[in-house]
Amino acid sequence: MDNKLQRTKIINIIHNDNTRSKETSEILENKLREYGYAISYEFDHNAELSICIGGDGAFLRAVHKHDFPYIPFVGVNTGHLGFFHEVNPDNINKFVENYSKGNYNIEDIYLVETIVCTRASCIELIGVNEIVIKGIESKVIHLNVSIDDNHLECFSGDGLIISTPSGSTAYNLSAGGSIVYPTLKTLQLTPLCPINSKAYRSLQNSAIIPDGMSIKINPEYRDENSILIIIDGKQFKYDNVVEITFKLSDMTLRKLTFHSQNFWSKVRDKFI
């Protein structure tokens, strides 16, 4: 018999430390074994699927830890909100049955890529939800913003959020940004407490930037050492930051979706 046909299919299970997540992972493991899958709790790069049990925060940490894997993932929500998650712990049997029959689609999750240049070097970083530029110690920061090298504004305020479509329902939404349908290839630039006075003029609302255009931020000289970069909740600090550029990444994450689910119903159920 062909060895390939005999090979057991591997599924990664990643869970956070909360009791419900641990219990759910045991139930899931047993069910998947019944259907002939092998389970790995270490991230196996030969797996055909990664299942992340927890909330959105646990999902974001897993994606960063495993360096944005190409293996598709699905989330089982034992967290608070679980916007990325498609499966409820009460529906494990149905999920495994649908998965084994191939009753699912794979959706791309667009990522935001930034290149942060200091006077010494440049570094590339990637975000799933958003990249936030803020001032240290709650200082007002002054940022020159350009889109495709066209100067747009000199922003003054708490900072700017550069959000992906999937991240539009996270920090971006709380800051007054719009919800963007996840298949639209766009970035959203959302101000955080923009100042509008006789001293400073900043755009008050979000701007939606299409794929293929880049956003460039040049901090004013006095702010080069006051910049914080926060990627999906994790903070980075660099000295002498002179330029930060953003674009949609060529890389995507791949997420399972099931036929019964609809993005706008999810928005209603989670936010209204």
Of 131-190, which residues contact ligand NAP (CB under 6 A)? 166-167, 169-171, 174
Q: Find tokens 């794979």 and name the residue.
A: 106
First-last CA distance in the chain = 55
Binding range to ligand NAP, per CB under 6 A, among 9-17, 76-84, 149-157, 206-214: 76-84
Q: What's the min distance (Å) between Cβ of 163 and ligand NAP?
A: 8
Q: What's the min distance (Å) between Cβ of 84 and ligand NAP?
A: 6
Q: What's the min distance (Å) between Cβ of 77 and ligand NAP?
A: 7
Determine if 223 is a binding residue for ligand NAP (CB under 6 A): no
Q: What's the min distance (Å) between Cβ of 81 and ligand NAP?
A: 4
Q: What's the min distance (Å) between Cβ of 142 and ligand NAP?
A: 22
Residue type, 241: V
Binding range to ligand NAP, per CB under 6 A, among 54-62, 92-100, 179-187, 245-253: 54-62
Exposed, middle or buried, 236 (CB in 10 Å: 0-12/13-18/19+)? middle
Q: In this complex, which beta carbon is closest to ligand NAP, that of residue 60 or of residue 141?
A: 60
Is residue 171 within 8 A of residue 161, CB to CB? The reply is yes
d(CA 104, CA 188): 29
Q: In this complex, which beta carbon is closest to ligand NAP, that of residue 47 or of residue 175?
A: 175
Q: What are 171's two structure tokens?
A: 């920090």
- Catalytic site residue 56? yes
Among 37, 71, 82, 89, binds ligand NAP (CB under 6 A): 82
Which neighbouring-strand residues pair with 195?
A: none
Residue type, 270: K
Determine if 81 is a binding residue for ligand NAP (CB under 6 A): yes
Determine if 55 is a binding residue for ligand NAP (CB under 6 A): yes
Exposed, middle or buried, 117 (CB in 10 Å: 0-12/13-18/19+)? middle
Output the CA–CA distances (angstroms, integers) from residue 161 to 8, 45, 85, 171, 175, in the order listed. Answer: 44, 32, 23, 8, 9
- Name the residues annotated as catalytic: 56
Interface with ligand NAP (CB under 6 A): 55-57, 60, 79-83, 129-130, 166-167, 169-171, 174, 232-233
